[in-house]
Amino acid sequence: MEFIELYEKAKAVIKPRKLTEHADCGGVGAALLTDRGNIYTGVCIDTSSSMGFCAEHAAAAAMVTAGESKVIKMIAVLWDGEIIPPCGRCREFISQLHDDNMDTEVMVSEDEVVTINELLPYKWR
């Protein structure tokens, strides 16, 4: 599967909206491709008390709920279509779900793909 297909899946779930006075969601969409060929998507949830989570976390939760944990490729997309790299928390989170996820290919911009290993050069473990 090509990254353009993952990009389209991530972009398709983006639907920015206000949930309450203190929470909104859907400004970022993410898509993960697993070793079994399945795609999981998610959106960010932002809260005023910082209890929200990133789109990559939402996609990973759906993946783990379905019984999978090995990510082959991943991408995150802003509401305006810009590709963005995962934050440090998401990089570390994905890396801990499966030992092989250090080799996960991550599209960090329109013209650049790197691995989680490259995004986490100084590992604590």
Rounded to an integer, what distance in angstroms lies between the CA atom of residue 35 and that of residue 42?
Answer: 18
Task: Tell me the per-residue pLDDT of 57-112, one tens digit each, with 9 for 90 and over.
Answer: 999 999 999 999 999 999 999 999 999 999 999 999 999 999 999 999 999 999 99
Specify the CATH number of the domain 3-119.
3.40.140.10
- For 21-33, give one letter per residue: b (16+ CB within 10 A) or e: eeebbbbbbbbbb
Residue 89 tokens read as: 């928390």
Parse the chain into domains and list their residue ranges.
3-119
What pLDDT sits at residue 21?
95
Tokens 């990254």 map to which residue?
3
Residue 45 tokens read as: 């949830």
What pLDDT sits at residue 70?
98
State mean pLDDT over 26-41: 98
